[in-house]
């Protein structure tokens, strides 16, 4: 569940769509629900980062084979982002750490940004 730090608003709204890599020889996974898709694309550690750092977060399966998410970030105290005291900075730091240790994603993916937000 996302954090509740929205006292000073939410910022950095971003929507991404994750697609499976189609190598032509392996059938693409079909997802019956969001939880199955999230587990296929992301490690448990990555999903924890989303839950702890995002202030608003919504997921959706699209075309039964892709995962879409929209997220925003609050700040930890009165807009003191220069000190790095904001959830977006923590999110970026933590995903970079997971990516560098190959513990961010479970499978190869293609990631695209979308302006069609879920909320």
The predicted-structure confidence for 30-82, as pLDDT tens digits, reads as follows 999 999 999 999 999 999 999 999 999 999 999 999 999 999 998 877 555 55
**pLDDT at res. 82:** 58
| Ramachandran area for residue 13 (φ above 0: left; ψ -120 to 50: alpha; else beta) | beta
What domain count does the chain have?
Answer: 1
CA distance 7 to 76: 9
Q: Is residue 113 part of a domain?
A: no
Give the pLDDT band (50/70/90) at residue 2.
Answer: confident
Q: Is residue 117 part of a domain?
A: no
Q: Is residue 101 part of a domain?
A: yes
CA distance 112 to 118: 15
Q: Is residue 111 part of a domain?
A: no
Q: Is residue 74 part of a domain?
A: yes
Q: Is residue 2 part of a domain?
A: no
Q: Tell me which residue of 13, 1, 6, 32 sits closest to 71, measured CA to CA.
A: 13
Q: Is residue 114 part of a domain?
A: no
Largest CA distance in the chain: 52
Q: Is residue 119 part of a domain?
A: no
Q: Which domain holds residue 61?
A: 11-106
Question: What percentage of the chain carries pLDDT values higher than 90?
Answer: 76
Give the pLDDT band (50/70/90) at residue 9.
Answer: confident
Confidence (pTM): 0.90
């Amino acid at each position: 569940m996302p954090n509740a730090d929205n006292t000073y608003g939410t910022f950095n709204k971003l929507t991404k769509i994750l697609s499976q890599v189609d190598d032509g020889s392996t059938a693409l996974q079909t997802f019956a629900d969001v939880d199955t898709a999230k587990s296929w694309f992301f490690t448990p550690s990555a999903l924890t980062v989303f839950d702890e750092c995002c202030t608003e977060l919504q997921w959706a399966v699209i075309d039964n084979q892709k995962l879409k998410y929209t997220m925003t970030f609050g700040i930890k105290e009165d807009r003191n982002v220069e000190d790095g005291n904001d959830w977006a900075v923590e999110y970026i730091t933590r995903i970079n750490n997971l990516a560098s240790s190959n513990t961010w994603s479970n499978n190869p993916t293609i990631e695209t940004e979308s302006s069609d937000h879920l909320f």
